Structure 1
Amino acid sequence: MAFPIRIGVQLQPQHAPEYSLIRDAVLRAEDAGVDVVFNWDHFYPLYGDPDGAHFECWTMLGAWAEQTERVEIGALVTCNSYRNPELLADMARTVDHISGGRLILGIGGGWFQKDYDEYGYEFGTAGTRLADLGQALPRIDARLKRLNPAPTRDIPVLIGGSGEKKTLRYVAQYADTWHGFNDIETYRHKTAVLADHCAAVGRDPETIERSAGLQFKGDVDALLRDADAISAEGVSLLTVGVTGPDYDLTPLEALCRWRG
């Protein structure tokens, strides 16, 4: 199946000393025509001042659910380690209702050790974190089916990552959207691996939406060339990250014009 081209923005909740800056950026993003507004699930900035201003992911999504009217919202991506799977399912269901059915449940295994160390989570290894994700995904699905009231829709699940043995297998089993991109040749290889996992579980890989992040380095023409190249590979959800305190949406405005 063919998915429409969609434009996402990741409003990175870092280096904004006042939440009003993020609130304003969400309004501007929706007005600019983006389709999805993401944040991320960390407790400290990922670049710049490592102890700079930062806000929490899911309480923010609840605020966005009330603030916005059209865009889908979600985390790119939630760290599975930080919340009990049943609790996460209930949080997702609640934000789904607040937003009128606009939540995307983005999730991954987690990787930022400072978050784990500072907040008291066991970091483990990449293998153990991914194993935990594999155990959590069916629990999330089961809890969503038991909640009263039920979600307003089948909440789309976005899985981030490109690991060939575990992550792409989870994508084949559970995901509506796969977020993961390297260079074009690597992406083609990962796509073939995903197709093998889909065949093993009896799923058509074309039913999985493809998502990727684009890097903006100040050159709009270069950004649009990258968008042309990756969309030609079948990626339909293209997201650019912007950071505080300014949240410059120039690249998103250009991509929305490119999308048409």
Structure 2
Amino acid sequence: MLWRGGRGLLLGLAAAAAAAAAAARWLGWWSGRAGLRLFVPEELARYRGGPGDPGLYLALLGRVYDVSSGRRHYEPGAHYSGFAGRDASRAFVTGDYSEAGLVDDVADLSFSEVLTLQNWLSFYEKNYKFVGRVTGRFYGEDGLPTPALSHVEAMISRGTEAGRRALEEKQMFPPCNAEWRSRRGGRLWCSPESGGVSRDWVGVPRKLYKPGAKEPHCVCVRTTGPPSGQAPGLPVYTNRGDLDHPGLGEYTGCPPLASSCSFLP
């Protein structure tokens, strides 16, 4: 459990918890539902919103939505008309609206890109009517999820967890403010709002070394109180905040407890 001194920490963790809950909700959408309509791709292709077409539908990760209320965006000739009548999940992330890009293959997307798809799912669930599923990559002929969809589920779960950890780290080690001028040199400094993290401490600049990273980056480090991660209720054996974290290093020529470090050009 992290030290709770910062005002932004509770809000940040609440946001992470909300994201995790949202991910669980999205995964729940993909579980079995009775009475859902199943489309084969050839049938869904008829729903492009043209004259004589039975409707205007699109699919995302196998889920089919009626987007008739957004006709001006998806009807023939509109900017997003390529999404109509098919599952073009990949293009929601890549922005490739060519025929080669308007496909449902998302197997090689990154965690952040898959989380972007989750955000799009939220958008369509909120704004359009869910009408069924399209068989193929994400749902079988029985309407149940395929291994490809299970892979997406796993990536969403892992990406959400990675985002939670990154948020916790940012709350623990907010990025420094930085500036560089050719004549005056550079400056790194901390403030109660640096890194976009509102807190009730300022901190001092330190290098944070992360496994796999080529270079350290500047973070602000709390200098008082128990170290982050210390279980509540235990005796405080140090009052140095996170200064003794093994992944940190001092800046040469900068006083150890200075909140601002200047460097000559």
* TM-score normalised by structure 1 residue count: 0.23
Greater relative contact order (Cα < 8 A, sep 6+) = 1
Looking at CA atoms only, which structure, 1 or 2, has the larger radius of gyration?
Answer: 2
Greater percentage in helix: 1
